[in-house]
């Protein structure tokens, strides 16, 4: 059903809540049509506070001669307004209702929210004023949010030049503002390294000056690291203090375990089994003490669980891109980094489905607006449960890009997620996605002033830039290596020095323009010096977008090193550097960055952490080949090796991250369960090789693999270290006489 409707006037029941909702709807329609509906006694839309509606978060939409929006609360009316705006399109002042929205709507999850912490680390929130917060509150409520989470202080009281408020003052004012819209307020309030008395004194002041608090969430760690018994002791004391000022507030500590306490999770459960009445539920988030299913089975049933999902980060996080296989291509991770603009609707739907059965809802971890779409889609799933994902994304388009081609921009949003599914050099939809975003702005010039549109156009432009650079540089590297095979030293270097073309340069300049617009429009920080981003990994895409994504810079760096050698040594050296990882058919090479975990042929046990180093400008500065930039970090590693020559002795070279510890005395290398090496890190190191070929911070070691351990040329290589863990980047297994 599609129907052109008229909304010339709006009416309400006279209550303050309905009047506030009516004013909101009038303003929203004015911004979309250019005409503000009148207030009348008999409007085309009537807003009504109805105590008979079942729940605070429920609402009813009826359609006879007019629309009637019914809800028990103000926020229920805001949800109804949100659904109306999400299912209407606007063109030339007309309103097109795309489907029948009448019905009764009941929430799925009881807690539906996002963290909007005002501190130095976010990529936008620290630049906001209260008007920005209010606008964002409403945007979130249109997708069913009932909770916003703020951060009074992290104990350090840091402030940057963008922040116009003291953190605790902003927390109090933002709480009052949330209360005006009937939003619940949660506080993420970590423990600091201070005495119990000082801790309670600080919290008392915050609790007294913050007008609305519905929940307090002290993380178990990251930060606020105490052993579990001390943590629970503090939590109970905070809860007593909290409820003196806010009797209905809930205490929800998290089961996030400090790494220095190996048994933290078991001790936490033991404390919770004492049924402390001061605690109302438990949060689970990153650095968790145990998986969600285990926590739900072990935690006493009286305590509900609230999820703290990280929907803002892409790498070195709880849910990295392709979280189930962790194979996000290193070029994307380098150039766009941990906290770039990251619409991931399909992936977060999978995570939501995997977690929803254990929890009462969630308040996400967010560090700014890079995850704007993720917030809306996650909240839609929290409210409705199993939603049509394309409809949710289309709702986002209709709500925030009025007057635009909905199908085009919906495809463009999905396209941004699709771009990341492969090596950018191989991606077939990257330019098409960019063209979709560009076309939308050409069709609807009003979008050029819309920060959400520019936000996604910025990402699409970055994707295309990475693809252009990687394709161009890979071609140069191939040509350079061919010339080296012909012993043409100077010509090989000259090929690598070719500049980018005008199209590439023009696109890079547009990215700068988009970044400047976003900073001015919404405080989005894409650069440390110019836009005051907290650091290179906090959404500062301009700090990482130009980093090497191929070995071009590494080879040029090696050419420069070759210039320091005697003339007769230069060509042999650079040829060796260019072919360092090339192996014969009966040899083996594995790189975590290049091959990913799937190509080990085994499933790794334990909690694997990929400590990606490529987006760090101080490491990926031209001195490192791409192959070493992803570091596997776990207590064990195994891979299947095949195709070796049965009667030949081999040597294994492993490139490690140089994290030394005197406690690591059982660093173990095995092949087919036979020990090749066991002892202190890392074994037989090769400093000459490292000096010639590896960047600072990495070290290689060599182990002998006798042919007697091969089973028809096959076997399983295993690494173990039970203190520091195994942290390595690549493995070379070469015939002994061929080892470089």
Residue 393, in any domain of the structure: no
Residues 553 and 606 in one domain: no
Average pLDDT (565-592) is 97
Q: Is the pLDDT of residue 1 over 80?
A: no
Predicted TM-score (pTM) above 0.85? yes
Average pLDDT (266-294) is 96
The tens digit of pLDDT for each residue in 134-159 reads 999 999 999 999 999 999 976 566 88
CA atoms in the 13 A half-sphere facing the CB of 679: 8
**pLDDT for the residue numbered 157:** 64
Residue 651, in any domain of the structure: yes
Residue 576, in any domain of the structure: no
Residue 397, in any domain of the structure: no
Q: Give the integer Cα–Cα distance in Å for 53 and 73.
A: 9
Contact call for residues 98 and 89 (beta carbons, < 8 A): yes
Residues 589 and 557 in one domain: no
Confidence of residue 646 (pLDDT cuts 50, 70, 90): confident
Q: What are phi and psi of 201, to 5 degrees?
A: -65, -45
Residues 433 and 477 in one domain: yes
Q: How many domains does the chain have?
A: 4
Residues 181 and 301 in one domain: yes
Residues 154 and 276 in one domain: yes
The residue among 1 and 702 whose pLDDT is bigger is 702
Q: Is the pLDDT of residue 738 over 70?
A: no
Residues 220 and 268 in one domain: yes
Handedness of CA 452, 454, 457, 458 (dihedral sign): negative
Q: Give the integer Cα–Cα distance in Å for 434 and 529.
A: 28
Q: Is the pLDDT of residue 737 over 80?
A: no
Q: Give the integer Cα–Cα distance in Å for 506 and 212.
A: 50
Among 105, 127, 143, give the residue marking a domain's end: 105
Confidence of residue 193 (pLDDT cuts 50, 70, 90): confident
Confidence of residue 446 (pLDDT cuts 50, 70, 90): very high
Residues 129 and 260 in one domain: yes
Q: Give the integer Cα–Cα distance in Å for 171 and 118.
A: 8
Q: Give the integer Cα–Cα distance in Å for 582 and 576.
A: 10
Residues 222 and 367 in one domain: yes
Confidence of residue 83 (pLDDT cuts 50, 70, 90): very high
Please name the residue ranges forming H helices in 323-450. 330-336, 345-355, 372-384, 389-400, 406-419, 430-443
Residues 124 and 89 in one domain: no
Q: Is the pLDDT of residue 739 over 50?
A: no
Q: Is the pLDDT of residue 68 over 90?
A: yes
Helices (H) and strands (E) in the chain, counts: 22, 27
Q: What is the CATH number of the domain that holds 273?
A: 3.20.20.80
Average pLDDT (521-540) is 96
Contact call for residues 438 and 408 (beta carbons, < 8 A): no
Residue 572, in any domain of the structure: no
Contact call for residues 183 and 57 (beta carbons, < 8 A): no
Contact call for residues 351 and 364 (beta carbons, < 8 A): no
**pLDDT for the residue numbered 736:** 87
**pLDDT for the residue numbered 740:** 44
Among 105, 128, 155, give the residue marking a domain's end: 105
Residue 519, in any domain of the structure: yes
Residue 429, in any domain of the structure: yes
Q: Give the integer Cα–Cα distance in Å for 484 and 162.
A: 52
Average pLDDT (342-354) is 97
Other Cβ atoms closer than 10 A to 399 = 21
Q: What is the CATH number of the domain that holds 697?
A: 2.60.120.1620
Q: Is the pLDDT of residue 645 over 80?
A: yes
Residues 543 and 656 in one domain: no
Q: Is 623 helix (H, G, I), strand (E, B) or coil?
A: coil
Residue 403, in any domain of the structure: no
Q: Is the pLDDT of residue 344 over 60?
A: yes
Average pLDDT (111-139) is 97
Residues 548 and 597 in one domain: no
Q: Is the pLDDT of residue 94 over 70?
A: yes
What mean pLDDT is reported for the chain? 96
Give the structural domain span for 85: 3-105
**pLDDT for the residue numbered 224:** 86
pLDDT over 90 percentage in the chain: 94
Strands 103-105 vs 111-115: parallel, antiparallel or unpaired: unpaired
Other Cβ atoms closer than 10 A to 479 = 15
**pLDDT for the residue numbered 530:** 97
Confidence of residue 259 (pLDDT cuts 50, 70, 90): confident
Q: What is the CATH number of the domain that holds 41?
A: 3.30.379.10
**pLDDT for the residue numbered 58:** 98
The tens digit of pLDDT for each residue in 597-635 reads 999 999 999 889 999 999 999 999 999 999 999 999 999
Strands 305-307 vs 38-39: parallel, antiparallel or unpaired: unpaired
Torsion of CA 430, 444, 345, 1, to 10 degrees: -130
Residues 96 and 144 in one domain: no
């Amino acid at each position: 059903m599609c129907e052109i409707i008229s909304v010339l006037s709006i009416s309400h029941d006279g209550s303050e809540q309905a009047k506030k909702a009516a004013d909101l709807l009038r303003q929203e329609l004015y911004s979309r049509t250019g005409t503000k509906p009148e207030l009348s006694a008999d409007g085309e839309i009537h807003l009504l506070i109805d105590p008979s509606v079942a729940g605070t978060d429920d609402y009813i939409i009826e359609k006879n001669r007019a629309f009637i929006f019914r809800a028990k609360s103000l926020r229920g009316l805001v949800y109804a307004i949100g659904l109306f705006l999400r299912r209407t399109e606007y063109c030339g002042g007309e309103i097109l209702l795309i489907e029948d929205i009448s019905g009764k709507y009941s929430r799925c999850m009881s807690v539906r929210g996002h963290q909007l912490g005002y501190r130095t680390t976010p990529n936008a929130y620290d630049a906001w004023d209260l008007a920005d917060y209010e606008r964002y509150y409403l945007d979130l409520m249109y997708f069913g949010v009932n909770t916003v989470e703020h951060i009074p202080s992290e104990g350090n009281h840091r402030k940057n030049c963008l922040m116009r408020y003291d953190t605790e003052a902003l927390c109090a004012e933002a709480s009052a503002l949330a209360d005006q819209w009937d939003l619940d307020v949660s506080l993420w309030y970590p423990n600091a390294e201070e005495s119990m008395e000082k801790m309670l004194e600080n919290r008392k002041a915050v609790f007294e000056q913050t007008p609305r608090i519905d929940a307090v969430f002290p993380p178990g760690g990251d930060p606020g690291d105490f052993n579990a018994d001390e943590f629970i002791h503090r939590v109970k004391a905070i809860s007593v203090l909290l409820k003196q000022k806010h009797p209905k507030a809930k205490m929800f500590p998290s089961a996030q375990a400090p790494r220095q306490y190996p048994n933290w999770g078991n001790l936490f459960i033991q404390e919770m089994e004492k049924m402390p009445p001061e605690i109302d539920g438990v949060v689970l988030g990153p650095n968790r003490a145990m998986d969600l299913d285990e926590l739900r089975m072990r935690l006493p049933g009286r305590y509900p669980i609230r999820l703290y999902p990280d929907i803002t980060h892409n790498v070195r996080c709880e849910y990295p891109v392709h979280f189930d296989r962790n194979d996000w291509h290193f070029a994307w991770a380098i150039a766009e980094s941990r906290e770039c603009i990251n619409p991931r609707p399909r992936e977060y739907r999978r995570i939501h489905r995997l977690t929803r059965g254990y929890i009462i809802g969630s308040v996400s971890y967010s560090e700014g607006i890079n995850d704007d779409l993720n917030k809306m889609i996650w909240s839609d799933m929290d409210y409705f449960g199993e939603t049509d994902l394309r409809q949710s994304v289309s709702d986002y388009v209709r709500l925030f890009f009025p007057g635009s081609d909905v199908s085009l921009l919906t495809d463009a949003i999905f396209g941004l997620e699709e771009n990341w599914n492969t090596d950018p050099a191989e991606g077939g939809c990257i330019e098409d996605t960019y063209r979709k975003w560009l076309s939308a702005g050409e069709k609807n010039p009003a979008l050029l002033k819309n920060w959400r549109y520019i936000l996604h156009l910025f990402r699409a432009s970055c994707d295309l830039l990475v693809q252009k650079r990687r394709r161009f540089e890979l071609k140069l590297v191939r040509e350079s290596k061919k010339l080296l095979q012909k012993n043409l030293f100077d010509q090989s270097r000259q090929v690598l020095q070719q500049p980018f073309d005008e199209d590439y340069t023009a696109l890079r300049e547009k990215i700068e323009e988009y970044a400047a617009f976003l900073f001015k429009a919404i405080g989005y920080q894409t650069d440390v010096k110019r836009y005051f981003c907290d650091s290179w990994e906090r959404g500062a895409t301009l700090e990482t977008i130009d980093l090497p994504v191929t070995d071009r810079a590494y080879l040029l760096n090696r050419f420069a090193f070759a210039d320091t050698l005697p003339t007769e040594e230069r060509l042999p050296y650079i040829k060796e550097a260019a072919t360092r990882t090339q192996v014969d058919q009966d040899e083996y090479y594995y790189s975590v960055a290049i091959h990913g975990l799937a190509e080990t042929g085994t499933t790794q046990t334990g909690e694997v952490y990929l400590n990606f180093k490529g987006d760090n400008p101080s490491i990926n500065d031209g001195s490192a080949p791409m192959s070493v930039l992803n570091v596997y970090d776990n207590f064990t590693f195994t891979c299947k090796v095949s195709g070796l020559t049965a009667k030949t002795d081999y040597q294994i070279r492993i490139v490690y991250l140089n994290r030394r510890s005197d406690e690591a005395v059982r660093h173990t290398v095995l092949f087919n369960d036979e020990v090749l090496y066991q002892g202190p890190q890392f074994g037989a190191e090769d400093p000459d090789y490292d000096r010639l070929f590896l960047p600072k911070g990495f070290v290689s070691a060599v182990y002998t693999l006798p042919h007697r351990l091969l089973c028809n040329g096959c076997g399983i290589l295993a690494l173990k270290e039970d203190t520091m863990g195994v942290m390595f980047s690549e493995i070379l297994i070469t015939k002994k006489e061929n080892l470089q």
